[in-house]
Amino acid sequence: MTHNLQKLSISDGHGLSVDLLNYGARICAIDFHGHQLALGLDRLEDYLDEPFYLGATIGPITNRIANGQLTVNGELLQMPCNEGKHTLHSGGAGFDKQFWQLESHSPNQICFSLEYDMTLVGLKGTLTSYAIYRVTDGCLTIKYRSSCDLTCFINLTNHVYLNLSDLDTISDHQFQLNADSFVIVDAENIPTGELRTLNRPLEYQLDQSLYPEFIGLCDHHFNTPAPEIDSVREMLNVVSPSSGVSLTVSGNSPGFQLCTGSFLSSPFAPSGGFCVETQLAPDAINQAGFHSPLLQANQQSEQITKYQFKLVEIDSC
């Protein structure tokens, strides 16, 4: 089947517009009152083999799976290993590598759909997913709705890299993380099962940190306190003093991965952008103490992420 790259746009009519691509159901650009906030590529065809998952929908399993192995209903499944002996972002044939079907397009909303053969990544069943992007009042909302004909484990997210400044890096960004713990990982970025307690909110910048694990970079999963399961709550706030653009990220996942992009390379600078990936913890299904629900056959899951952008006055005193 022949597919064509297709770029589509949505706008709230009040300063926020988002460009999306059908390949990977991904974000290509975010313009907020003239500030270009998302890392993107000039040529659409370059998205076909870019290595950074720029703006892409990641699934059926985001982040890392130790040794590429997981057990569902007593059956051991083997995923492709694309990060040493481990699996990252489903192993190279996931949602980000698929052409999605355009279901609907209005001035401020787009809906893509994908009927996905889970055997492409060593899993079982046919997973039907919808990626719905909506902009209103300076807020980009992403909803992922999924169902599968067999019981499965899924963990979806969006991998947009953001830079709120007009600089090449995020060196001026000031983060506040509404998290009560983070996941300790080993030298291969696989969780050990240990959680480290945090005092909320955690203040973080690239050039300093209260925690030695974060000095100069961050690629960790943070668990957020929740009054109830699946409630949408505030996870992270970040502001760029140089531009006056601020962002609040909210979601209904139990936590998020904060990645400050230290490994980014041409055409971007190292730490040229950051990702806030709302999700289940990495390798959650293999960690007894982590939240890792199975999606039962023919039941529907819904994941919600909200990016609320604002212009703020920065006190220069």
317 within a domain of the structure (yes/no): no
CATH of the domain at 70: 2.70.98.10
Using pLDDT thresholds of 50, 70 and 90, give the confidence band for residue 249. very high
Q: Which amino acid is at 244?
A: G
3-state helix, strand, coil in the chain (%, to 5): 10, 45, 45
What is the CB neighbour count within 10 angstroms for residue 225?
12
58 within a domain of the structure (yes/no): yes
Determine the pLDDT at residue 74: 95
Higher per-residue confidence, 98 vs 229: 98
Write the CB contacts of 132 (distance below 8 Å, at least 6 apart in sequence): 109, 110, 111, 112, 141, 142, 143, 144, 145
- Reduced to 3 states (helix: H, G, I; strand: E, B; else coil), residue 247 is strand
2 within a domain of the structure (yes/no): no
72 within a domain of the structure (yes/no): yes
C-alpha distances in Å from residue 278, one per residue of 154, 159, 165: 13, 9, 22
Q: Which amino acid is at 261?
A: G
153 within a domain of the structure (yes/no): yes
Determine the pLDDT at residue 2: 58
Average pLDDT, the chain: 94
Domain that holds residue 125: 7-311
Determine the pLDDT at residue 54: 98
Q: Which amino acid is at 90?
A: S
Nearest to 248 by CA among 157, 177, 166, 156: 177
Is the dihedral angle over the CA atoms 96, 101, 105, 110 positive or is it negative? negative
Determine the pLDDT at residue 30: 98
Residue 243, pLDDT above cutoff 60: yes
Residue 317, pLDDT above cutoff 60: no
243 within a domain of the structure (yes/no): yes
Report, in angstroms and rounded to the nearest whole number, the Rg of the chain calculated over CA atoms: 19
1 within a domain of the structure (yes/no): no
Q: What is the pLDDT of residues 201-229, one digit of tens each?
A: 889 998 866 676 666 688 999 999 876 66
Using pLDDT thresholds of 50, 70 and 90, give the confidence band for residue 25. very high
- Reduced to 3 states (helix: H, G, I; strand: E, B; else coil), residue 47 is helix
Using pLDDT thresholds of 50, 70 and 90, give the confidence band for residue 1. low
Determine the pLDDT at residue 238: 98
Residue 305, pLDDT above cutoff 50: yes
pLDDT over 70 for what percent of the chain?
94
Nearest to 268 by CA among 164, 172, 157, 163: 163
Write the CB contacts of 87 (distance below 8 Å, at least 6 apart in sequence): 61, 64, 65, 68, 79, 80, 81
Q: What is the pLDDT of residues 273-296, one digit of tens each?
A: 999 999 999 999 999 999 999 999
Determine the pLDDT at residue 207: 81
85-89, 132-136, 178-182, 211-215: segment of lowest average pLDDT: 211-215
Q: What is the pLDDT of residues 37-94, one digit of tens each?
A: 999 999 999 999 999 999 999 999 999 999 999 999 999 999 999 999 999 999 999 9
145 close to 132: Cβ distance less than 8 angstroms = yes
Residue 152, pLDDT above cutoff 50: yes
Is the dihedral angle over the CA atoms 86, 91, 96, 100 positive or is it negative? negative
Question: In the numeric block, which tokens belong to residue 310?
Answer: 């604002």
152 within a domain of the structure (yes/no): yes
Give CA–CA dist 13/136, Å, rounded. Answer: 8
If DSSP states are collapsed to H, E and C, what string results for 71-123?
EECCEEEECCCCECCEEEHHHCCCHHHCECEEEEEECCEEEEEEEEEHHHHCC
Over range 139-154, report the average pLDDT.
98
Domain count, the chain: 1
Give CA–CA dist 103/216, Å, rounded. Answer: 42
